[in-house]
């Protein structure tokens, strides 16, 4: 299922209902605002643990030397940089992001690190990817799917561009499982995070939206069912940090 509500033609932007046509613009404004502080944002949201989650996400991916990988919502370059050793010098990594500001920040950062050969940057919408069928051995999206207006369309496109036998992997904030931890997590998300955003990035509203977007994202079993409905096979997920995030996987057969 996608993000539609009872009101026709609307979708969620955090806890607000907005016209479907406006969500992409609103999300774009958020990420243009936080592009220069994206690492800081993730550190504030996860207390720095996002770096460990990303390393595990990449370390457990089905990928090998010479493979071609598409990393969606990959503007920061974090996932692609970690994947570089996995695909080797003969592999290719395509970073796709709908937000030009994010993509430019990521490209500059990757260039500064000396990561030039084997990387390609494409500004694209996950709901309508500009790649031929069966183009990639692996498609990843880390902390980006919850911001997509039509998640069903994005999942269908991920399946389309995968080669037969290829794997799709989604790393995303999910539903905390421990009842005792939920009040603490909510307090951090809705009381602490916006204040930290105001203090360190001078932008409380964007951080408020990001906290709200996590709660609106489909929980583990619902996202698994969405991947199955999109046509993926052998769908599964693994909770990290008690369900604060989850890694979903699916295969094209």
CA separation for the pair 82, 54 (Å, rounded): 8
Residues 171, 141: contact at Cβ < 8 Å? Answer: yes
The residue with greater pLDDT, 186 or 134, is 134
Query: Average pLDDT of the chain?
Result: 87
* Sheet arrangement for strand 162-173: 119-123, 92-97, 68-72, 136-142, 162-173, 245-251, 233-240
CB 237 within 8 A of CB 248: yes
Distance CA 3, CA 32 (A): 22
Express each pLDDT in 83-126 by its tens digit: 999 999 999 999 999 988 888 888 888 888 888 889 999 999 99
67: which 2 tokens?
A: 């493979």
What pLDDT, on a 0 to 100 scale, did the predictor assign at position 210?
79
Angle at 26 between CA 133 and CA 28, to 5 degrees: 50
Which pTM does this prediction carry?
0.86
Question: What is the tens place of the pLDDT at every residue in 222-244?
Answer: 999 999 999 999 999 999 999 99
Residue pLDDT, tens place only, 11-70? 765 566 657 767 777 666 666 666 667 777 778 778 789 999 999 999 999 999 999 999
Other CB atoms within a 10 A radius of the CB of residue 242 amount to 14
């Amino acid at each position: 299922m996608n993000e539609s509500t009872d009101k026709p033609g609307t979708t969620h932007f955090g806890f607000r209902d907005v016209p479907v046509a406006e969500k992409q613009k609103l999300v774009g404004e958020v990420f243009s605002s936080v592009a220069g502080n994206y690492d800081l944002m993730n550190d504030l949201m996860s207390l720095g643990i996002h770096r460990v989650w990303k390393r595990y996400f990449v370390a457990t991916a089905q990928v090998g030397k010479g493979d071609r990988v598409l990393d969606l919502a990959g503007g920061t370059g974090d996932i692609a940089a970690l994947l570089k050793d996995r695909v080797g010098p003969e592999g290719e990594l395509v970073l796709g992001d709908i937000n030009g500001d994010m993509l430019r920040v990521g490209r500059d950062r990757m260039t500064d690190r000396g990561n030039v050969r084997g990387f390609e940057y494409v500004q694209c919408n996950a709901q309508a990817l500009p790649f031929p069928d069966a183009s990639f051995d692996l498609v990843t999206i880390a902390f980006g799917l919850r911001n997509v207006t039509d998640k069903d369309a994005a999942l269908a496109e991920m399946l389309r561009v995968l080669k037969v036998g290829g794997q799709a992997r989604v790393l995303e904030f999910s539903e905390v499982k421990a009842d005792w931890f939920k009040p603490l997590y909510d307090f951090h998300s809705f009381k602490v995070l916006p204040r930290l955003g105001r203090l360190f990035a001078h932008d409380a509203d964007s951080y408020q939206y990001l906290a709200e977007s996590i709660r609106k994202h489909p929980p583990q079993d619902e996202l698994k069912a969405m991947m199955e409905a999109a046509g993926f096979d052998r769908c599964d997920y693994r909770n990290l940090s008690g369900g604060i995030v989850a890694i979903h996987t699916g295969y094209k057969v």
